[in-house]
Amino acid sequence: MENNKGSELREISHLSLVITLIAFSTVLVILNVTLAWEKWTIPLCIAAIPVCITMHVIKKPQDQFRIYIYSAILLMEMFYYCSNVETIFDSTPVIVVLLVVFSLTREKVIMWLGIIVGYAGMLYHLADAYFSIGLNTDRSNIVRTIWHLLLVAIAGMIIDRFIYIVTAMSKNYEDRIRVLEGASKSASDFLANVSHEIRTPINAVIGLSGVCIEKEKDGIIREDLMAIKQAGNRVAEQISDILDYSEIDMDNLAVNEEDYMLSSVLNDLVNQIRPIKPDELELVIDVDPAIPSVMCTDVGKLKKILWHLVANGLKYTKEGGVYVRIYSIKEAYGINLCFEVKDTGIGMTPDELERISERFYQANSGRTRSTSGLGLGMSIVSGFVSVLGGFMTIESKRDKGTTVHISIPQKVIDPSVCMSVSEPDKLALGAFLHFEKFENANVREYYSLMLRDIVTGLKVQMHKVDTIDNLRNLVSSMELTHLFVGDKEYETAPEYIEELSKKILVVLVANDDYKLPPGSKIRQMRKPFYCFPVIGVLNSRVDDLKESEGRLMCPGVRALIVDDEPMNLTVGMGIFKRYGMVVSTASSGMESIEMCRANEYDIVFMDHMMPGMDGVAATRYIREDMGDKELIIIALTANAIRGTDTLLKQVGMNDFIAKPIDMTDMAKKLRRWLPDEKIVETEGEPKKENSQIP
CB 563 within 8 A of CB 587: yes
Q: 50-64, 528-542, 597-611 — which is least confidently predicted?
A: 528-542
Q: Where are the beta strands (DSSP E) in 529-679?
A: 551-553, 558-562, 582-586, 603-607, 632-637, 655-658
| 93 and 39 belong to one structural domain | yes
Residue 582 falls within a domain, yes or no? yes
Per-residue pLDDT tens digits for 599-638 = 999 999 998 888 888 888 999 999 988 887 889 999 887 6
Q: How far is CA 188 from CA 180, 194, 377, 401, 535, in A?
A: 12, 10, 17, 33, 45
Residue 490: inside a domain, yes or no?
Answer: yes
**Cα dihedral 449→450→456→457 (10° resolution):** 140
Model confidence at 526: pLDDT above 90 = no
Q: Establish if 157 belongs to a structural domain.
A: no
- pLDDT higher than threshold 70 for residue 541: no
pLDDT-derived band at 642 (thresholds 50, 70, 90) equals low
Mean pLDDT, range 91-104, rounded to an integer: 87
Per-residue pLDDT for 513 more than 70? Answer: yes
Together in a domain, 291 and 227: no
Same domain, 268 and 294: yes
For residue 294, what are the β-bridge partners?
414
Q: Does the pLDDT at position 251 exceed 60? A: yes
Give whole-number Cα distances, 247 to 193, 304, 390, in Å. Answer: 12, 14, 18
For residue 42, being part of any structural domain is answered with yes
Instruction: For 178-225, give the DSSP string.
Output: HHHHHHHHHHHHHHHHHHHHHHHHHHHHHHHHHHHHHH---HHHHHHH
> How many distinct structural domains can be found in the chain?
5
| Final residue in a domain of this structure, among 368, 386, 417 | 417
- Out of 540, 562, 583, a domain closes at 540
DSSP assignment string, 6-35: HHHHHHHHHHHHHHHHHHHHHHHHHHHHHH
Give the structural domain span for 385.
Answer: 258-417
First-to-last alpha carbon distance for the chain, in angstroms, is: 45
- 369 domain-assigned: yes
Query: Which amino acid, one-letter code, is at 38?
Result: E
2 φ, ψ (degrees, to nearest 5): -60, -45
Say yes or no: 563 and 632 in one domain. Answer: yes
The mean pLDDT value for 332-337 works out to: 93
Mean predicted lDDT score pLDDT of the chain: 82
- Which region among 64-78, 330-344, 444-458, 570-584 has the lowest average model confidence (pLDDT)? 570-584
Same domain, 224 and 368: no
- Quote the pLDDT of residue 72: 92
Which pTM was predicted?
0.63
In a shared domain, residues 564 and 609: yes
pLDDT, residue 639, reads: 63
Same domain, 351 and 388: yes
> Is position 156 within any domain?
no
In a domain, 241, yes or no: yes
Query: Are residues 409 and 365 both part of a single domain?
Result: yes
Cβ(37)–Cβ(87) below 8 Å: no
Average pLDDT estimate for 452-479? 90
Q: In this structure, what CATH number is given to the domain that contains residue 675?
A: 3.40.50.2300
Please check whether residues 363 and 242 belong to one and the same domain.
no
Which segment of 5-9, 139-143, 170-174, 340-344 scores lowest on mean pLDDT?
5-9
Report which of 276, 272, 397, 270 is spatially closest to residue 345, judged by C-alpha positions.
397
State yes or no: pLDDT of 105 exceeds 90.
Answer: no
Whole-number pLDDT of residue 372? 39
- Of the three residues 110, 135, 160, the one that is the final residue of a domain is 135
Do 444 and 527 share a structural domain?
Answer: yes
Distances (CA, A) of 24 to 51, 52, 78: 15, 13, 9
- Mark whether 646 and 523 lie in a shared domain: no
Q: Is residue 106 helix, strand or coil? A: coil
Give tens-digit pLDDT for 557-582.
Answer: 899 999 888 777 877 887 788 788 88
Residues 6 or more apart whose CB falls under 8 angstroms from that of 539 comprise 421, 422, 640, 658
* 91 belongs to a structural domain: yes
At residue 341 the predicted structure's pLDDT band, cuts being 50, 70 and 90, is: very high
**Domain co-membership, 325 together with 300:** yes
